[in-house]
A and B are shown apart, each in its own frame.
Chain A
Amino acid sequence: NAGVTQTPKFQVLKTGQSMTLQCAQDMNHEYMSWYRQDPGMGLRLIHYSVGAGITDQGEVPNGYNVSRSTTEDFPLRLLSAAPSQTSVYFCASSYDREWNTEAFFGQGTRLTVV
Chain B
Amino acid sequence: SQELEQSPQSLIVQEGKNLTINCTSSKTLYGLYWYKQKYGEGLIFLMMLQKGGEEKSHEKITAKLDEKKQQSSLHITASQPSHAGIYLCGADMGEETSGSRLTFGEGTQLTVNP
**Interface on A for B, CB 8 Å cutoff?**
4, 29, 31-33, 35, 40-45, 48, 50, 58-59, 90, 92-95, 97, 99-108, 110
Contacts and interface: CB of A to CB of B under 8 A. Distances in A.
A94 B98 contact: yes
Bin chain B's interface residue count. Answer: 20 to 34
Interface in B1-37: 2, 4, 30-31, 33, 35
Contact of A108 (B33, B42, B103): B42
A90 B90 contact: no
4 tightest A-B contacts by CB?
Answer: A99-B97, A94-B99, A103-B99, A31-B100
Main secondary structure of the interface of B (DSSP, over half): loop
18 contacts: A29-B100, A35-B104, A41-B106, A42-B88, A42-B104, A42-B105, A48-B101, A50-B98, A92-B99, A97-B98, A99-B97, A99-B98, A101-B48, A101-B99, A102-B99, A107-B41, A108-B41, A110-B40
A48 B42 contact: no
A95 B43 CA distance: 17
